[in-house]
Amino acid sequence: MASRPPSPPFGKGYFSAPFERFVRDDTFGQLTSAFTLFDTVETYFDSHVDLLQRKLQKHSDRLKMRAEETFKIKDLKIKDLKLKDLSIKDLSGDVLAENLEREIKSFKLKVSARVTSLQASWQSAKVVRTREKVSFFFGVMTLLLTALMFGMAPQWIHIAYTVIGVYLLPLRFYQYKQRAWHYFLFDLCYYVTILNFVYIWFFPGSAALFVACYCLSHGSLASAVITWRNSLVFHDQDKVTSLFIHIYAPLSFTVIRHFYPDAAARFPALHQVSVLDPWKGMLLSGVIYAIWQILYWKFVLVDRRAKIKSGQRTTSFSFLLNDKHSPIGQMLSSVPEQYRQASFVGGQFVYAILTELPAIFLLYRSSFWSAVFLLVIFAVSVWNGGGFYIEVFGRKFERELEALRKEIAEGAVKAGTSGASSPG
């Protein structure tokens, strides 16, 4: 799948240290967090972030001004002492002046280094914030344009699906390859997404491919929003990509089936599938699923077994196996090791068939229940996204704010100590 549930810390077990470092990665740990949503608190939080930043900036400026004034005063005092004691130069006075000058120089160097460090952090944070603002902007605009297209020009939905996918999927491949997460790209959701594009642009007259894509998009892909806790977090490009993969596919095929004007002219397969036979639907989608499962087993679980077992790479199976908090991880752990892969493969197949049943028996026949289905899936992602903003993002900001407060407090204490040790 495209996104993963959070995993607990591991002790010595199935995987080696490299995998343990992978699962403890802070970015990876936040990919699919989901918590309770408090919409009113979000408004309060967003309005106070800028206020806290301004207060901290003012406090930092005051500390800089005090430090500069302290330097000037100390320089003047040193000059006065030198003039007063010009006629009474003794050994103790020279030692005192030298020690004082050394202390002041050391303090200046520390403050300069701290300011440089803060400026570098600030610039880095600005770059991150700019990237997140761009992601937020395009995420919100994509949602708005999708809603407008659905209401005004539904025949453009499959085009938007393709354009967005052509941009996000290569970007995800690059990012996951950089993080050594690219074995997740062999999961079913990417396989189905590619098949959807193949049907839409190359074989729109293939009834078998249409049925398989429709069933899998409304089954395994759509249900993954709940199973893998996808979140609508506009500023996080990775979460937006995961949600796009799992929710835009059922949206596109719902539009083609129920809301596309004169759909049979653009997608001739609809002429042959005016009514979906349940057994035919499960058989066709099952065959397409079996092809993916065989390829996945051969090229990932067999050919790359050594890398996965050593912890250099991870897959959905290995991740879930080590997620002791999830029901799937607990069930896999209870199975003898030699039967775990077979149990996982069989469980995935049963899961795929069960999640297709609503599409086969209800959604294909009813535009109303298809719309309700999409609203429920989307509502789950919004709920998860609200939990992320309230809990994960809020706690991360709180930790960073506390670290900054300690740093400022330490600087103030050092400045006060240095001032107290000076003469006069």
Instruction: Enumerate the domain spans of the chain.
Output: 128-401
What pLDDT, on the 0 to 100 scale, is given for residue 228? 84
| Dihedral sign from CA coordinates of 379, 384, 389, 394 | positive
Is the pTM higher than 0.85? The answer reads: no
pLDDT profile of the chain (424 residues), mean per 10: 42 40 44 41 49 60 64 55 49 60 73 66 64 89 95 96 96 90 91 97 96 96 91 91 96 97 95 94 94 90 80 77 70 80 87 94 96 96 89 76 79 61 45
What pLDDT, on the 0 to 100 scale, is given for residue 94? 59
Long-range contacts of 11-18 (CB under 8 A, 24+ apart): 13/322, 14/318, 14/321, 14/322, 15/309, 15/311, 15/314, 15/318, 15/322, 16/310, 16/311, 17/311, 18/310, 18/311, 18/312
Give CA–CA dist 367/365, Å, rounded.
7
